[in-house]
Structures are given as C-alpha cells and as structure tokens.
Structure 1
C-alpha cells in the first residue's frame, strides 16, 4: 500500500465530498496535510525531497479523454505519477508526486457521453500511472468496475505491477473489466524495478483475479536481452504454468510482449536522475526506427527480435490454459 509522508490538497478540490473523506482518512494516519493554491505544484516539490512519496489531491480539468490505442479507445485518469521506481520508465525518472483526482463523478458522466453512440468503448485506467497503490484511499477502480458492469457498451481495463487486489475480488464486474499484470524475470525486477512486488507475487495476484472471474492478461515488458535472458524468460513462463495451473480462467489469457526500446534523450536523462544507473542496452547494437509522430527510438535489430518471438511462441505453447498472443513487438 502506498504510504505518502506528506499530502497536499489544491483549494479547488476542497469542495468535493471525496476530498473530505480522503482528508479524514489521511488525518487518521497522522499524515501532514497542507492546502495550496491551485496549480502551485512547485511549492510542493520544493518542500519535499522525495516527490514520489508525496500525495497531491486535485481536480481533473481536461475537457476530453486522451486516445489510448492499442490498449483501449480512451484513457480515464484516476491517478497520475507512479510509486514504482523502474529505471527504464519515464514517469519514474521525472520523480513527480502522485496525484489523485476527486471529481470522479464528472469523469464517469463523461464516460457515459463517450458511450452514447451505441458502439462498444473500452477505457484504460492506467495510462498515466499504476492505479492499484492509491486504490485503498480513493476506491476509484472499484467504482469504475461496478459502474462499467452496469453499462451495456462500456468496457474497462488497467495494467498493474502491484498486488493489493483483495478489495476488488468480490465486486460485481460482469467480466467487463480486464486486469493486465505487468510481469518480468526476477533478474529484471530486482535490477530495474525498485519498489515493486516480485514475479511470484504478481502472478499470485493474477491467480486471485482469475478465480474471481475477471478476464486477465499479462504484459511482459520490457523484454531485455542480457546474459541468460532466454533461460530467465522460459523460467518466467514455467512459473506461469505452475502457479496458474488450477486457475481455469473464464476467457483466454492474453499476452502483450514488448522488447525494450528507448529514445537517446530519455537514456541521457536517466543518467542525470538515477544514481549509478545500468540498463543492459547498447545503442551501437540496436536499430533506429521512426515512430508515427516523426520521432524515433532505438530497438533491437531484426535478428534479435526474431529470437524473442521464437522464444515466446515456443514457451507459451506449453501453458495449460487457453491464451492469445496479442502482439510481440
């Protein structure tokens, strides 16, 4: 569970019922709470030396939801900023505070508006941050899951590395919410994903969600090529087979597999904000590819990508349950 050491409330948020409930809950934990002017984030950053442990309570003001392909049609923002400290992640490198939004009813009304056309619409709840760590405070996921279950053409999905899912197990979800667990090898987690649960803990959380009837998927990303990487990723698949053998998922388990890629500027920034960083990548050994928005990223060459695809297609074929590989990129 996320435990901030300081809380800031923007004045505009004080008029919301959820803010009052949050404030009462946080005060019971004897946490220091300050009210600040709207948008006065520099004050908050200046007072605290570890921004990722600061909680900001705000109002979400954007008029429209962001598009969120390929995971969903739109992103619904319950939280931004992440408590994980994964070295390869841009959000972790920014060292921003965690911000939750209290105008939840406004967001749900907007969901209804987006779904009025009669076509199935999927909303993504984790585009800006992992939503599980703040769930004990906001219950935003629980509200969205139960809301989605009542909407005939709305679906919901979110991705998480965290395992505090017990509060979601007994909800009426009608199999309309899909939970995707981001997993990786023990080597990658211990080396680059500081502050996150182990591989086994994540898989066991997925087991709980499967037993509760939720559709479940796995995001294996970023896939790193390092000494013994093949053995490690095959061991990861073996653990999936062992721990999930008795789960009997209600729908095929999906897999989204993404090799590591980065922009040179992001890697340079990493070395400025992370003490003694190390990622098993070498620009000289990687290919440069242009994306859809006229910027490029370094990624593994064709031969290496072929090895990655071959490994996962071979390994996943031994799983004891129905599955679907969405993509390997």
Structure 2
C-alpha cells in the first residue's frame, strides 16, 4: 500500500526546539507538502462530510504533554500516544464519536518526554512487568514514515527489563521494524477480518493479502504476534469467509512456534455513532438495524447495540472453533 501523504501539514512552533521537528520539516518540504506554522488547525468546508474528508488529509505536528497515563485493560496496563487519529476511513470506527467532526491527525514529536513518563510508570511498578498500548487512538504504522516514533519506541522497550509494548495496525508498512533489536518486548497485533468487511468498510487501509504478507514478515522477524478479529459481522456467507481468513492465516504462519493471541470483537454501534456514520458515508452497507440488536451498557457510560444473544453465541463459538482447529498455541484472550 502507498504511504499516506497529507494534503497539508500544520507545524506547532513548540516542536522547533526538538531535533525531530527540523527533520520533519525537511521531509515535508521534500514532498512539496504545504506547511502552515500554527498550532491551530483551520478546516472550514461547506458541509460536515467535506470537513471530515479534509481532516483525514490534514496533520498537525505538535507535542504530547500527558503526564498521567490511563488504564488500557484488557489490552495492557496503560496506554500512551505517539499520535492520534489515522488516515484510514473505516466506516464502523469506534472513534467516530470521540474525535469530533474534524478528526485531523496529530503526531507528537517530544519523544524524550513521552519516554520519561513511560519510564516513571515502569519504575513505580518494579519489579513487576508493566505493559503499554500505543495504538488506542491511532494506527502508529500508518504515520510512522512521518516521524519515526514507533521505531524509537520499539528500540527503547527492547532495552527495558520491565517494560513491554503492544500495538495494533491495519497497515502493511512493517519493513522498518524487521531488523530492530526488539528482544521480543514488543507485541505486534494485526486487525484482520473477512475480505467482505475489509473491502467494503475499511477504506484507505491495507488489503486482506497485504496484511497477510505483513504478518509473515513480522513473524519471521521474531516478534510476539496476535490478532484482533474485529468487528466480526454476520452477513450472507459470513461463515465461509471467516473460514477463508483462518485458512489463509494458518498457511502464512507455518513454522511459527510462538503463542498467538486472538481478541474477538463483534460489531457494535451507538446511536450517536450511527448518526455520524450515515452522515459521512451516504451509501454505507453497514447493517445498523437496531431491531436486530440488543442494548449493552458500555464502559464509557453509553448504551451500544450488539448482536442478540443467540447470534453472539453462535459467532463466538464458530470463530473460536476455527481458531482452535487451526492453531495449536492459540490463546483467545476475550470475546466481547
């Protein structure tokens, strides 16, 4: 997949005191990307749909001043951010309602300060292992070529005795990480799905087969690996297509001896998300029929629509059976 190139880049003056800021500006200039020296991003189109589209091609390079990290269970002990938002246009994205009408991307360049915060949490939890997720509100692979942040993080955790890193991606640009000294301290997870879901709802992401090739590369590089199968959907021929997914993945991972984790997440949506999805994707084929779902209270104080109990149980049992029959060292961490 081609690397993401923004239409416009905003430069927060704060980044100019960091060496990474100068490198970023040189790179942007080499690509002839328009640069605006301002920490305030201006997106003022005629319609919400146009604002959304423009935001998805706009990047602000700035700093992350977060000192207090929040929990990220069940994925990890804590989460931190190298960036926010991403260039993908996944119609079902759970961030639809949290990043506003203009979800432009932010890339943080104060890596020394971010790593200092991480180290403080590792130190407080000594001698235990402390795990961190860096992809809760972004896809770090999609934006890595614009910053080099993730490469530095992987090397940092590779040297850490008590820190572990986790990330997840829908992108295939993994070559920069293949020769790093990761010491198995970084776990790569890939979001995978049936070809129907990827082709119809995951716009501007790597294709089904591009992701499978990236999986093979990361596995061969010795990283711990895992998969988020999400959002699992019920549609015509869904069982046949999910079987194809796991059959293909089994072939790709022939010879991989490590444990493989799986996180299973059924499709869900809130009323607010549904309104935004219909607005942004006029011809969406997402099944947002509330009558076919049941309400479930979410951890962030909102009801969400999930599949009804019998459908959910069928989905969980079927996908779990496919996983356990194809992978000897599979660990299904959860189904939700």
Residues 273 and 284 of structure 1, relative CA distance in 2, 3 Å threshold: same
Q: Is the 8 A contact 2:225 2:261 kept in 1?
A: yes
Q: CA deviation at 1:319?
A: 1.6
1:323 equivalenced with 2:325 (yes/no): no
- Which of 174, 186, 199 is the matching residue for 1:190? 199
What is the aligned partner in structure 2 of residue 10 from structure 1? Answer: 12
Instruction: Tell me the matched-pair count.
Output: 323
Query: Residue by residue, what CA displacement relative to the aligned partner does 1:177-203 show, whole Å, maximum 9, x if unpaired?
Result: 000000001000111011111112112
- Which of 82, 86, 105 is the matching residue for 1:82? 86
Three-state SS of the structure 2 residue aligned to 1:163 is coil
Q: What pairs up with 1:256-275 in 2 under 5 angstroms?
A: 256-275=263-282
What is the aligned partner in structure 2 of residue 20 from structure 1? Answer: 22
What is the aligned partner in structure 1 of residue 225 from structure 2? Answer: 216
2:94, 2:67 → 1: CA distance?
25
TM-score for both structures, normalised by structure 2: 0.92
Q: Is the 8 A contact 2:274 2:288 kept in 1?
A: no
What is the aligned partner in structure 2 of residue 161 from structure 1? Answer: 170
* More displaced 10-residue stretch of structure 1: 197-206 or 288-297: 288-297
1:313, 1:296 → 2: CA distance?
26
Residues 68 and 320 of structure 1, relative CA distance in 2, 3 Å threshold: closer
Q: What pairs up with 1:1-329 in 2 under 5 angstroms?
A: 1-36=3-38, 38=39, 40-41=40-41, 43=42, 45-46=43-44, 50-91=54-95, 94-117=101-124, 118=126, 119-246=128-255, 248-249=256-257, 251-329=258-336
- List alignment gaps of at least 5 residues for structure 1: none
Query: Residue by residue, what CA displacement relative to the aligned partner does 1:194-216 show, whole Å, maximum 9, x if unpaired?
Result: 11111121121011111000000
- List alignment gaps of at least 5 residues for structure 2: 46-50
Q: CA deviation at 1:318?
A: 2.5
TM-score for both structures, normalised by structure 1: 0.94
Residues 91 and 309 of structure 1, relative CA distance in 2, 3 Å threshold: closer
Q: CA deviation at 1:327?
A: 1.2
2:4, 2:221 → 1: CA distance?
24
What is the aligned partner in structure 1 of residue 48 from structure 2? Answer: none
RMSD over equivalenced CA pairs, Å: 1.6
* More displaced 10-residue stretch of structure 1: 292-301 or 1-10: 292-301
Q: CA deviation at 1:95?
A: 4.5
Q: CA deviation at 1:323?
A: 1.3
Three-state SS of the structure 1 residue aligned to 2:107 is strand
Q: Is the 8 A contact 1:142 1:168 kept in 2?
A: yes
Q: Is the 8 A contact 2:69 2:80 kept in 1?
A: yes
